[in-house]
Amino acid sequence: MQSLHKTIAFITLAITLLIASGCKDSSSDIPQSSTTPTAIASPSLVRRGSRAVVQRGSRAASPTPSSSPTTSEATLWNQLRQGKGYVLLLRHALAPGTGDPANFRLDDCSTQRNLSTEGQQQAIRIGEILRQQNIPVSRVLSSQWCRCLETARLMSVGPVEPFPVLNSFFQDRSSEQAQTEQLRQFILENRDNAGVIVMVTHQVNITAISTIVPQSGSAIVMRAISPEQIELIGQLDSF
């Protein structure tokens, strides 16, 4: 009888070990939880400390609030005084409202959203500040919209050249990508320009190339750092 009990105990132990082994093997077939894919960063803005690089042919990231790279305004003014290759992209001065009236016509200022008296004074003040800071302006380019042309003329820092690449695409986004790429290309091609190129344009245009959402009369500073890359230096809000 004792021998029988030992035999039964041995068989029970063997069965237990076999079951445990089978459970261990089967658990290895259970799919492991997959690692969440890492999002690929947008190539359009490559941050370098307090700066960012906009690469040729890349599309800008989603707009962010009006925060800018942390380069101080004093440093920005010093850099602009160097002149060569720098571009000042300025949003037109104060013009109450959003977009343009339904009857908008490019050749008729009465159908457009125009500068207020405060906006006209702001434009004059922007020009005064540029002169006080001894910024060597080589060209003044402007959107063909009346509020941009008036801003540029009231600044009185040089002859104003209408430049369709700077025209607003707020109400027709079909041209956004093409215009933004043309603007990048222009900046790249003028990297050896002797003075600062001032460009008066619209919020959507500035946001498309930099992701910054500027206030009326604010500006961003950019320059080409190679035949392929544009550097976002910072933002000027002191106007």
Please report, for the chain, the start and end positions of each structural domain, with discontinuous segments joined by +. 45-236
Q: By C-alpha distance, which of 174, 175, 212 is closest to 45?
A: 212
Q: Give the model's pLDDT for residue 221.
A: 97
Rounded Cα–Cα distance for residues 103 and 171 (Å): 13
25: tokens are 């093997």
1: tokens are 């009888």
Q: What integer is the mean pLDDT of 2-8?
A: 53
- Exposed (0-12), middle (13-18) or buried (19+): which is 39, by Cβ within 10 Å? exposed
Task: State in words which class domain 45-236 has.
Answer: alpha beta
Q: Give the model's pLDDT for residue 172.
A: 84
Q: Above 80 in pLDDT, residue 63?
A: no
Q: What integer is the mean pLDDT of 85-103?
A: 93
Higher-confidence residue of 159 and 193: namely 159
Q: Give the model's pLDDT for residue 101.
A: 85
Q: Above 50 in pLDDT, residue 158?
A: yes
Task: Cite the beta strand spans of 92-151 per DSSP E.
Answer: 137-142
> 103: which residues sit within 8 A by CB, 6+ positions away?
111
Specify the pairing of strand 51-55 against strand 229-236: antiparallel
Give the gyration radius of the chain's Cα atoms. 31
Rounded Cα–Cα distance for residues 3 and 112 (Å): 107
Instruction: Give per-residue pLDDT as tens, 162-219.
Output: 999 999 999 888 989 999 999 999 999 999 999 999 999 999 999 999 999 999 999 9
**Residues paired with 55 in a beta bridge:** 229
Q: By C-alpha distance, which of 126, 139, 130 is closest to 187?
A: 139
Rounded Cα–Cα distance for residues 149 and 157 (Å): 13
Q: Give the model's pLDDT for residue 159.
A: 99
Rounded Cα–Cα distance for residues 82 and 194 (Å): 9
Q: Above 70 in pLDDT, residue 85?
A: yes
Rounded Cα–Cα distance for residues 52 and 200 (Å): 21
Whole-angstrom CA distances from 172 to 112, 151, 205 are 15, 23, 12
> Virtual CA dihedral for 158, 124, 203, 139, nearest 10 degrees?
10
Q: Above 90 in pLDDT, residue 100?
A: no
Q: What integer is the mean pLDDT of 121-129?
A: 98
**Residues paired with 14 in a beta bridge:** none
Q: What integer is the mean pLDDT of 145-169?
A: 98
**Three-class secondary structure of residue 188 per DSSP:** helix
Q: What integer is the mean pLDDT of 70-84?
A: 88
pTM: 0.73
Q: Above 70 in pLDDT, residue 42?
A: no
